[in-house]
Chains A and B, each alone.
Chain A
Amino acid sequence: MRFAKFLIDSVKEVIKGGPLYYAWMALLLIVMAFAARSYIFQLDQGLIVTNMRDQVSWGLYIANFTFMVGVAAAAVLLVVPAYIYHFQAIKEIVILGELLAFSAIVMCLGFIIVDLGRPDRFWHIIPGLGILNFPISMLSWDVVVLNGYLILNTLIPIYLIYKGYVNEEPNKKLYLPFVLLSIPWAVSIHTVTAFLYNPLPARPFWNAAILAPRFLASAFCSGPALIILIFQIIRKVSNTKVQDVALFKIAEIMAYSMFFNLFLFGAELFKEYYSGTIHLAPMEYLMQGLHGHNALVPWIWTAICLNVTAFILFILLRNIRSVKIMNIGCVLIVTGVWIEKGMGFIVPGFIPDTLGEIYEYMPSSTEVMVSLGVVALGFFIYTMFAKIAIAVNNGTLKYQKD
């Protein structure tokens, strides 16, 4: 069977590679191994080895999860110009974007699993086997949309890569409906993730209607920023053609998104500070510190500075077509949005807690190590799949009759 041969050849492709490839994969494996040790420690001792407590019951894991959902959703910014507007330069690389979405979702699920105190009971959430509280619980919605998106972004790239492998024209009627479906689905995964936090009146900091648009705006800068950086690395280490014009097209969309992101953040600041109700407290804690507690203040101001600087750089890009400036901007954005959405969003939702207590949270070394492991896993998977896709695209990996 041709598909079986495709799988075998793909495995062969993943196993062989240059020294740089081996070094990179070995590095990821080492990180994953250390993370596995930390995770086993966490399973053994309980979540007490994290710095989460009753007051701040979610931390770094859920923060990273939220950020990664945004990265996954951002693949849509390649899918739309590629499949709807037939922008050729992006069409050539869209599959690498879809694979990134796939890897990001794997990381999301990874962050959820490591955050669960009882992963041994994971089957309770599988419909049919356990009980999914659908449609009442927003978390059940997240389970549905994330897994749906995972399936879409597994099937589409595998089909396209396989067709390239056997050197046949992909059947548009077969895959295009799924591609079109993946566009609103991408928006939905980040909307639903915002709706996890948004409908909890217990947490006034999250209880804002602006949340879903804000999530999408920040995702549409951080996701593409990662894509731009990764694509340039791919361009360097393989002979894949990634045209600058494609990167600048993506950068243009990012500039608009960053504008909206900053605008929405400003709107939120205005509302909270001008109304000045008791619900200002978490925002005050984040921006200025509250009652002498100010662990997050340097974080959020760093994020704001990074995001504003990146926005200015991206405006300059319209006139100065400099890849270097674009790259600096991308690094600033990835860092800035990660802080804004992670430590700057999840944590202040819990501070002060619902009874007014302030418990300052900073992730423990176990949380940091386990998180690095999940990210390493994501990159490991992405590298493998991207290597196969690139080899098929170059024609070095193709079907041959025995």
Chain B
Amino acid sequence: MREDKKISFIRRKFLKSFAVAAAALATLTKASSAVKDFDFDDFVQKNFREMTPQEIERMLKRLEKKYKEKYGKDFVVKATPPMENVEFGYALNLSKCIGCRQCVYACVKENNLSRKPHQIHYIRVMRFKTGPIDLEKSEHYYDAEQVPEKGYFYVPIQCQQCRKAPCVKACPIKATWTEKDGIVVVDYNWCIACRYCMAACPYRGRNFNWAEPYVPVEELNTNTHYLGNRPRMKNVVEKCTFCIQRSREGRYPACVEICPVGARKFGNLLDPNSEVRRIIETKRIFRLKEDLNTDPKFFYFFHS
């Protein structure tokens, strides 16, 4: 009798476990986005750097078609290559920055950054009380009625485009690399989302799409680059690319263009007559965390 009870208890337990397993399987097949959104062409796509020019051409056409179906808008997806004899550099005038965050939002719009449920900003403007730049005492989420505020100064930080980028070294599958013009890019279709690059970056230059990114259709920027602002997917890493879709066509990044006080300067480090070169050669400059030897191409400077 006791033995019978035991066996029926075990049987119940067994059946229960099968029922739960079946329920789990049902959830899987029932409209799970992982299954629904599966795209065979995406699945078999090679790493960007291993594609032939013809394969890239085909892939760009495929993406344009895919985005048209998904968003109902005509996209241009480019893969403009780097220009010869160009290495991009950036200089930021801390004496001028007023902490208005217009660069942050111009960047969000230009680069199709996710608005929700997980919001992404490539640029963080940090507020400091007058005194030394002590990161631990910075305010990331300051709310000011009017800027600039008395007794405060501001330091915007974004990807520092390091020459010796720790993130590139960390990636186990070469999904991120430095282009010939010095821009550190990510192949969003190759990233496996191990997030080792995020652990390796000393500047919080990398952002993760923790959820499916959402951008209102009317605010989508349809002029895109494969390695830049094309629509992203959930669970991939992304980062500032000096607006690769603009800079490779001789235009300024969106943050440079919008800055109301002209604190942001951008140009070719290899051109001896460029503005950034002049700033580096004539102003007192510094770079963040120089002791880590990452050799950033992002320079901070003061008026004189």
Contacts and interface: CB of A to CB of B under 8 A. Distances in A.
B27 A355 contact: no
Contacts of A138: 170
A355 B32 contact: no
A131 B21 contact: no
Nearest to B6: A19
Interface stretch (A26-34, A221-229, A314-322): A26-34
Contacts of A116: 192-194
A278 B136 contact: yes
A110 to B, nearest CB: 15
B157 interface: yes
B136 A356 contact: yes
Given A33-B21, A57-B199, A139 B210 contact: no
Interface stretch (A44-52, A183-191, A255-263): A44-52
Interface residues of B, number: 65
Contact of B172 (A119, A137, A197, A203): A137
B196 A356 contact: no
B17 interface: yes
B47 A131 contact: yes
Nearest to A32: B21
A139 B208 contact: no
Contacts of A200: 166, 170, 199-200
A136 to B, nearest CB: 6
Interface in A28-43: 29-30, 32-34, 36-37, 40-41, 43
A137 B196 contact: yes
Among B20, B210, B292: residue with most chain A CB under 10 A: B210
Contacts of B194: 112, 115-117, 139
Contact of B43 (A47, A120, A137): A120
Among B126, B208, B292: residue with most chain A CB under 10 A: B208
Contact of A355 (B7, B24, B193, B203): B203
A58 interface: yes
Interface in A81-131: 112, 115-122, 124-125, 130-131
A48 B199 contact: no
Interface stretch (B8-16, B61-69, B261-269, B278-286): B8-16
Nearest to B173: A124
B111 interface: no
Interface size class of chain A, counting residues whose CB lies under 8 Å from the partner chain = 35 or more
B195 A58 contact: yes
Contact of B204 (A27, A132, A137, A355): A355
A349 interface: yes
Interface in A45-67: 45-48, 52-55, 57-58
Contacts of A122: 192
B77 interface: no
Contacts of A40: 24, 27-28, 32, 34
Given A33-B20, A202-B199, A356 B192 contact: no
Contact of B207 (A22, A54, A119): A54
Nearest to A200: B200
B43 A201 contact: no
B173 A48 contact: no
Given A115-B194, A116-B194, A355-B157, A44 B173 contact: no
B14 A26 contact: yes
B199 A19 contact: no
Nearest to B155: A355
Given A22-B10, A131-B47, A354-B202, A48 B210 contact: yes
A367 B190 CA distance: 25
A19 B235 CA distance: 43
A23 B138 CA distance: 55
B251 interface: no
A352 interface: yes
Contacts of A130: 47, 173
Interface string A134-174: 00111110010000000000000000000000000000000
B211 interface: yes
A43 B32 contact: yes
Interface in B38-72: 38, 43, 47, 50
A125 B211 CA distance: 23
A388 interface: no
A353 interface: yes
Contacts of A143: 172
B49 to A, nearest CB: 9
Given A19-B6, A40-B34, 11 more contacts: A26-B16, A33-B20, A47-B208, A47-B211, A55-B204, A57-B195, A112-B194, A120-B34, A124-B190, A137-B171, A200-B200
Closest 6 CB pairs of A and B: A117-B193, A117-B235, A356-B135, A202-B202, A139-B172, A33-B20
21 contacts: A22-B14, A27-B13, A33-B17, A41-B27, A46-B235, A47-B193, A53-B208, A112-B194, A115-B195, A116-B194, A117-B235, A117-B236, A118-B235, A120-B38, A122-B192, A133-B171, A138-B170, A139-B171, A200-B200, A201-B166, A356-B138
Interface of B: 6-7, 9-10, 13-14, 16-17, 20-21, 23-24, 27-28, 32-34, 38, 43, 47, 50, 117-118, 124, 126, 134-138, 140, 157, 166, 169-175, 190-196, 198-204, 206-212, 234-236, 292
